[in-house]
Amino acid sequence: MVVVMYYEKEKYDKKFELLWRKLQKEKLVKHSLEEIKNSDLFKYSPYKELNDNQRKAVEDILAQIESGKVNRVVVNGMPGSGKTIVAVYLMKYLADSEEFAGKKIGFVVPQTSLRKTMKFIFRSIYGLTPSQVLSPSDITKKKYDILLVDEAHRLHQYKNISYRGAFKKSYERLGMTTDADELDWILEQSKCAVLFYDYNQVVGPSGIDYERFEEKMRNPYKKHTISYFTLATQMRVQGGNDYIAFIKELLAGAADRKYHSKKYDLKLYSDFSKFEKDMYAKEEETGLSRMVAGYAWPWISKNDRSKKDIEIQGVKRMWNHCTEGWVHTGEAIDEVGCIHSIQGYDLNCAFVILGNDIGYDKTTGQIIIRPECYFDKNGKITASYEELKEYITNVYYVLMTRGIKGTYLYVCDDELREYFGKYIEEEN
């Protein structure tokens, strides 16, 4: 088990940084510590130290798996609570353990972009292989003893998906119908499933919302023994749990306090040129600074790369040219990432554009949405106004919880910007 803290750790960390810089100066190492810390391999390494909450969860989850009495484990956690870190740690432990030798163990990642990243990480870790990283359709081809499912809130149902043909082949392979979803596949194909889930990160009607998730997990017609765990400590955002709570209040239209933090930078912009300029400056300063946005502009550059998708105050930018590994591509700094390119990833500084799909009604004091300004077609077909409002606010919740060191906001809607301005420091 990982040791969380050792004697005079901070002193040794500082000495290590000095030693590393000397090694870099002598050209004995290639990358700076900053570059290493910004890498996905460092962030998701199974050798990374766990906090007390994570370590206790790992110990208890392993005890449940080893007992053989529990076949469903749900790990709840807000963005940045370390769900993926714990999932990778568990995968490495199970792969190395003699007790589980010969067991069929898989690591399921629903999103194509994050799955590609995890395959790269597994290729770099002794004892793990890229073939262990699976898509939901992969697991319909054979049974597994244990499945670890990262980002389980991104599992899909048949409704409103763009890949219906492939989905149909998968559920037919299991003798199921369109009523079944990817969660059903996992429960059917595993003796024990460990699911890492956050209902606040369901961003469309094809996702598995909380009610559907719980209904499947507690199916009275199937004998399941379920254990629940919660990762409660914020490990990504340096503003901690207080920042996460503030963002939830803000997006619910219920903010009642000005946000202040010595540890975290939260700013509101009215000048988009300065917003863009500061993003480039943060990229030079810290690296891994990106501009992201809600789906409030059509993706016209998809078929014509000469066109720009987004224009604000005379500044034109293009949507992400890809979703797989977009964050680390050379073009990313000059593009705007959508929810599908960024969910599951960390940034040092997140520059978030809130488009006209979300607004504020001063007369009612409520957050509103504009379906006609929301361009994720699969995201709004069949959704009621209230359902779509939940999806859109969840998208912005995810975007506003990516930044480790800071979050910087540009708000298109005048009344929403005025509402935000009461509670967030404005950048002049």
Q: Residue 4: its pLDDT value, please? A: 45
- Position 32, amino acid: S
Q: Which domains does the chain have, with CATH numbers?
A: 9-231 (3.40.50.300), 240-427 (3.40.50)
Residues contacting residue 69 through CB under 8 Å, at least 6 positions apart = 225
pTM of the model: 0.88
Parts of the chain with a pLDDT under 70 = 1-12, 33, 38, 160, 162-163, 220-222
Across 295-331, b (16+ Cβ under 10 Å) vs e yields: bbbeeebeeeeeeebbebeeeebbbbeebebbbeeee
Cβ-based neighbours of 258, under 8 Å, separated by 6 or more:
422, 423, 424, 425
Question: Which segments of 282-321 are extended strands (E)?
Answer: 289-293, 310-312, 315-319
Residues linked to residue 181 through DSSP beta bridges, in sequence order: none
CB neighbourhood size of 94 (10 A): 22
223 token code pair:
């004998």
Q: Which two tokens stand for residue 124?
A: 């770099």
- What is the bridge-based pairing of β-strands 72-77 and 289-293? unpaired
CB proximity list for 4: less than 8 A, separation 6 or greater: 49, 50, 51, 52, 55
Query: Residue 9's pLDDT is what?
Result: 59
- pLDDT tens, residue by residue, 213-272: 999 888 765 677 899 999 998 889 999 999 999 999 999 999 999 999 999 999 999 999
Tens digits of per-residue pLDDT, 340-368?
999 999 999 999 999 999 999 999 999 99
What was the pLDDT predicted at 205?
A: 87
Q: How many other β-carbons are positioned within 10 Å of the β-carbon of residue 382? A: 11
Place of tokens 């059917």: 188
- pLDDT at position 5, please? 47
